[in-house]
Structures are given as structure tokens and as C-alpha cells.
């Protein structure tokens, strides 16, 4: 008989998680966000380079394949384009192959969009939400806002925009041949992020334009993506954008991601023409963010792995 039929998380942790979700919904309601639901199973998917959707052959009644989505972003933006106003959703999302102390291939994502929101509002929403939900022992100091460049200068001693690729490669040790963003990701993941959010919320913002994902790019020297991540205790909790609303630019980014995925021999969801049509119809100016709820619960409950707040993580799902 298998002993791992039991939940991985303690009942106490599951109760704490449920209470936290209640508080999150209360906060969202008080802030004027409408809760909406979106399909987990979609006809199209995200081609983002570093997020793998799960393919479900024959998922739909007409025999068409489906994708278990990496986020509800496209559906939520279709609602925004249809005039939904400020909205949020709490949904399960899927990211194939991600498993570890802070990853599970299926997890709960809280995603919200503030109609008319811009950079300052996006950052203050993230700070206020996390301050409302996390215990004060984790937030002894006031929130910190630090640019991607400042964070690298302070914690890795290099300028991520100016450093030569060769220097980045040397910094990362033997394995060469990685592209610039992969090298920066590696330095971010091992050197920079672990030092952020110590006793406070760190908002790291103004990412390299090449890491914009679905964020708007602010022209400058250099161009930066209006993208922000919140880190508490070295754990990345929230990723937010001032949203790209330009359909043509969005299509170009998707095509570039799809080409890169094909080159790497990875699966490649169909272009989401309904999402692109919504952008063409007009996505109102907005800012949005997504928060890993399992990680939030882990931090709030003083635990150190997602398995401690998930009833059935991947190894016993």
C-alpha cells in the first residue's frame, strides 16, 4: 500500500492557505476588482520562449487539440478589450517541466488588471496587496523600488545593459554559448534575486527590452520594458507589466518567440488570433500583474517549499 495517498501539506497549512485566499478576495473586492473565470483549456496557447504549455490532443468536441495554459492573460485581456473594467482571476495554470522547491507544474495564479493603470499605480497596487497579505515579521522595512540595472550593480557588481557578453559568460563559468538573456537570467537567479526582499518587498523594475514579454517598452538609452517583479525573502512573488496594447508589435513578438521555440525543437502553440483580434479591437490602457499564490501562502505561513502548502504536489498528484 502506498503511504503517499496523504496530503503533502499539513491540515494547518491548508487552513492557513484558505484563510489567505479569503483575505485576498476581500482585498480585491474592496479595491473594485471583479472576479472572473477563464478557461484552463484553450484552443491556442502562449508561445513565450521559456514557458511550456501542456498539449492536450483531441481536447475539444470537434477533435481539435487544446493547451493547458501558462496563465489566464490572453482571456483576461479579451475581457478587458470587451469593456470588463478592473478584473482579477484566481486560477490554476500549468507550466510543463517545472518542479522543485519553488515550482510545481500546476499552481494557483492570481492575476489582476487595473483599468487605466500605469507604472506608479501598478507598483503601489503590488506593494499594498503584499503588505495586506504578508505578516509584518517579513516586512520590517519599507518597500524598496530598484531598477533591474541597480539591482545587478549592487548585488552582482555589473551593469546588465553595458557588460560585454564575454564578461557575462566568464561570470557564469564553463558553460558558454548561451545568449545574453540566458546569462543574465542565470546571474539574476543565483546572485541577484536571492539578495532581494530581505525583510521587505523589493520591486525590481525596468527590465531589458529583450525580456519584455507582454510589457510595453519605454524608449530611452537604453530602451527598457515597463515590467516589474516583486521579491520577498529572495522569492519572486509577482510579475507585472504596463501592458503592451499594440497588436502589430504583439504579433511580431509572438512570431519571434515561435521561431525561437521551433529552432529549439520545442512545442509551439498556434497563434492566438482571438487574442490578437481583441488587441486590434482595442485594449484599453491598463497594467496587470500575476502572483504565485502558492508561494505567497508559503511565505505567509513561514514555510520553505511549495509542497508544504499544496495538498497534492506533482509527485503525489
Partner 1 sequence: MANYSTNEFKSGLKIMLDGDPYAIVDNEFVKPGKGQAFNRVKVRNLKTGRVIDRTFKSGDSVEAADVHETDMQFLYSDGSFWHFMDPSNYEQYQADAAAMADAAKWLKGEEICRVTLYNGSPLAVEAPNTVELAITETDPGVRGDTSGGGNKPATLETGAVVRVPLFVNEGEVIKVNTRTAEYLSRA
Contact residues: partner 1, CB under 8 A: 48, 50-51, 97-103, 172-173, 175, 178, 181-182, 184-186, 188-190, 193, 211, 213, 229, 236, 239
Place of cell 564553463: 174
Q: How far is the CB of 146 from partner 1 (least distance, A)?
A: 15
Q: Which is nearer to partner 1, 115 or 305 (CB)?
A: 305
Q: Which is nearer to partner 1, 280 or 314 (CB)?
A: 314
d(CA 294, CA 109): 8
**Which residue, 297, 239, 265, 302, is CA-closest to 104?**
297
- DSSP code per residue over 115-175: ET--HHHHHHHHHHHHHHHS-GGG--SPPEEEEHHHHHHHHHSS-TTTS-HHHHHHHT-S-
Q: How far is the CB of 182 from partner 1 (least distance, A)?
A: 4
Q: How far is the CB of 32 from partner 1 (least distance, A)?
A: 28
d(CA 120, CA 106): 31
Q: How far is the CB of 257 from partner 1 (least distance, A)?
A: 11
Q: How far is the CB of 158 from partner 1 (least distance, A)?
A: 16
Residue 32 phi/psi, 5° resolution?
A: 90, 20
Q: How far is the CB of 60 from partner 1 (least distance, A)?
A: 28
Q: Which is nearer to partner 1, 251 or 266 (CB)?
A: 266
**Which residue, 45, 82, 59, 123, is CA-closest to 289?**
123
Q: Which is nearer to partner 1, 10 or 210 (CB)?
A: 210
Residues facing residue 34 across a β-bridge: 87
Q: Which is nearer to partner 1, 37 or 175 (CB)?
A: 175
d(CA 166, CA 184): 12
Q: Which is nearer to partner 1, 28 or 158 (CB)?
A: 158
Q: How far is the CB of 100 from partner 1 (least distance, A)?
A: 3
d(CA 70, CA 40): 9
d(CA 302, CA 280): 45
Alpha helices in 164-246, H assignment, sequence order = 165-171, 180-187
Q: Which is nearer to partner 1, 48 or 272 (CB)?
A: 48
Lay out the sheet containing 66-68: strands in order across: 41-42, 66-68, 54-56
Amino acid at each position: 500500500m502506498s503511504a503517499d495517498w496523504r496530503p503533502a501539506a499539513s491540515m494547518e497549512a491548508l487552513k492557513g492557505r484558505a484563510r489567505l485566499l479569503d483575505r485576498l478576495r476581500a482585498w480585491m473586492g474592496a479595491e473594485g476588482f471583479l472576479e472572473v473565470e477563464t478557461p484552463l483549456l484553450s484552443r491556442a496557447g502562449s508561445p513565450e520562449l521559456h514557458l511550456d504549455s501542456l498539449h492536450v490532443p483531441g481536447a475539444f468536441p470537434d477533435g481539435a487539440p487544446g493547451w493547458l495554459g501558462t496563465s489566464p492573460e490572453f482571456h483576461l485581456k479579451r475581457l478587458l478589450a470587451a469593456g470588463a473594467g478592473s478584473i482579477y482571476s484566481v486560477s490554476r495554470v500549468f507550466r510543463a517541466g517545472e518542479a522543485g522547491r519553488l515550482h510545481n507544474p500546476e499552481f494557483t495564479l492570481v492575476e489582476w488588471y487595473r483599468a487605466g493603470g500605469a507604472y506608479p499605480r501598478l507598483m503601489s497596487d503590488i506593494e499594498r496587496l503584499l503588505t495586506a497579505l504578508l505578516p509584518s515579521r517579513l516586512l520590517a522595512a519599507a518597500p524598496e523600488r530598484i531598477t533591474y540595472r541597480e539591482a545587478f550593480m549592487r548585488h552582482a557588481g555589473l551593469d546588465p545593459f553595458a557588460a560585454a557578453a564575454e564578461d557575462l559568460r566568464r561570470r557564469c563559468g564553463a558553460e558558454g554559448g548561451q545568449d545574453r538573456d540566458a546569462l543574465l537570467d542565470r546571474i539574476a537567479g543565483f546572485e541577484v534575486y536571492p539578495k532581494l526582499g530581505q525583510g521587505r518587498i523589493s520591486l525590481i523594475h525596468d527590465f531589458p527590452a529583450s525580456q519584455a514579454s507582454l510589457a510595453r517598452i519605454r524608449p530611452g538609452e537604453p530602451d527598457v520594458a515597463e515590467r516589474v517583479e516583486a521579491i520577498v525573502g529572495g522569492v519572486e512573488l509577482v510579475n507585472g507589466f504596463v501592458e503592451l496594447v499594440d497588436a502589430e508589435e504583439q504579433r511580431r513578438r509572438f512570431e519571434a518567440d515561435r521561431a525561437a521555440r521551433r529552432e529549439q525543437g520545442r512545442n509551439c502553440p498556434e497563434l492566438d488570433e482571438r487574442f490578437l483580434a481583441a488587441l486590434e479591437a482595442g485594449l484599453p490602457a491598463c497594467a496587470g500583474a500575476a502572483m504565485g499564490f502558492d508561494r505567497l501562502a508559503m511565505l505567509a505561513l513561514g514555510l520553505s517549499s511549495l509542497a508544504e502548502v499544496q495538498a497534492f504536489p506533482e509527485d503525489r498528484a
